[in-house]
């Protein structure tokens, strides 16, 4: 059964909450999922359970506990405004330090991977450049990645964007990433907008979502995910 745990960030000693799920039986690796700006909402927890079912031990940190412990917002104007405010207040270093604490909690049992969505997609790119123990990172619709494309990932990374995303110009962002890192695959999903991993949302195409998840699974397999007792 999943549980809530508390981890400590090295940057300031802050204790933050995180959702932890462990697979029944065999374990493929550790996985850190980094939220959108809406906190630990049903979409990120549904995704966490999906990866647990595939054999991953998953930690989902509550990234805005410094701003409001237990924050969960609706995907509406008020939720977006508050989430963006908290993301700005949290700065660039706190989230990477929190991710590092999650990685440290998982790494003793095998490779650790990361998937980040929206806000988490940008955090994931930063983490890939800062944390040696990450084996691979998947960034979904990280609007801030283009501005920090010059950071050098220490592990394989793939980036996903939706063609219909009204706020992230997919071709422009892809070109900036590829100019800095031609080795990084950047996938554009023609039928999807922002948040397309969130099943049931109007901007989510089921086939695009499945394809992106399959690509993540293949990357993790290529980077050390194995069934181990």
Per-residue pLDDT tens digits for 2-14: 999 999 999 999 9
Q: What percent of the chain has pLDDT over 70?
A: 99
Tell me how far apart the alpha carbons of residues 226 and 36 are, in angstroms, rounded to a whole number.
28
Confidence of residue 202 (pLDDT cuts 50, 70, 90): confident
Mean pLDDT computed over 70-96 = 97
Q: How many CA atoms lie within 13 A of 74 on its CB side?
A: 3
3-state SS of the chain is CCEEEEEECCCCCCEEEEEEECCCCCECEEEEEECCCCECCHHHHHHHHHHHHCCEEEEEECCCCCCCCCCECCCCHHHHHHHHHHHHHHCCHHHHHHHHHHHHHHHHHCCEEEEEECHHHHHHHHHHHHCCCEEEEEEECCCCCHHHCCCCCCCCEEEEEECCCCCCCHHHHHHHHHHHCCCCCEEEECCCCCCCCCCCCCCCCHHHHHHHHHHHHHHHHHCCCCCEC
Confidence of residue 18 (pLDDT cuts 50, 70, 90): very high
Tell me how far apart the alpha carbons of residues 155 and 183 are, in angstroms, rounded to a whole number.
11
Is 140:211 a contact under the CB 8 Å cutoff? no
**Does residue 102 register a pLDDT over 60?**
yes
What pLDDT was estimated at residue 203? Answer: 81
Q: How many CA atoms lie within 13 A of 219 on its CB side?
A: 24
What pLDDT was estimated at residue 226? Answer: 83
| Class level of CATH domain 3-222 | alpha beta
**Rg value, the chain, Cα:** 16
**pLDDT tens by residue, 144-160:** 999 999 999 999 999 99
What pLDDT was estimated at residue 228? Answer: 52
What pLDDT was estimated at residue 229? Answer: 46
> Could you tell me the pTM of the whole model?
0.97
**Does residue 188 register a pLDDT over 80?**
yes
* Mean predicted lDDT score pLDDT of the chain: 96
What pLDDT was estimated at residue 227? Answer: 66
What pLDDT was estimated at residue 88? Answer: 98
Mean pLDDT computed over 111-136 = 98
**Does residue 27 register a pLDDT over 70?**
yes
Tell me how far apart the alpha carbons of residues 103 and 18 are, in angstroms, rounded to a whole number.
12
Mean pLDDT computed over 53-70 = 98
Mean pLDDT computed over 176-194 = 97
Mean pLDDT computed over 96-116 = 97
Of 58-72, 197-211, 214-228, which one has max mean pLDDT? 58-72
Mean pLDDT computed over 64-68 = 98
């Amino acid at each position: 059964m999943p549980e809530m745990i508390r981890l400590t960030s090295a940057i300031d000693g802050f204790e933050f909450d995180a959702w932890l799920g462990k697979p029944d039986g065999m374990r493929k690796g550790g996985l850190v999922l980094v939220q959108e700006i809406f906190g630990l909402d049903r979409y990120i927890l549904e995704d966490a359970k999906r990866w647990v079912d595939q054999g991953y031990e998953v930690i989902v940190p509550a990234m805005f506990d410094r701003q409001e412990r237990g924050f969960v917002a609706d995907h509406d104007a008020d939720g977006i405004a508050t989430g963006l405010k908290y993301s700005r207040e949290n700065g660039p270093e706190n989230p990477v330090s929190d991710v590092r604490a999650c990685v440290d909690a998982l790494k003793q049992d095998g490779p650790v991977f990361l998937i980040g969505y929206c806000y988490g997609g940008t955090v994931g790119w930063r983490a890939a450049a800062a944390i040696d123990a990450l084996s691979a990172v998947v960034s979904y619709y990280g609007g801030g990645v283009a501005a920090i494309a010059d950071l050098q990932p220490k592990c394989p990374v793939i980036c996903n964007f939706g063609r219909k995303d009204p706020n992230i110009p997919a071709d422009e962002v892809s070109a900036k990433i590829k100019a800095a890192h031609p080795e990084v695959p950047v996938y554009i999903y023609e039928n999807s907008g922002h948040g397309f991993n969130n099943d049931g949302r109007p901007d989510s195409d089921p086939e695009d979502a499945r394809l992106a998840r399959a690509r993540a699974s293949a990357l993790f397999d290529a980077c050390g995910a194995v069934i181990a007792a």
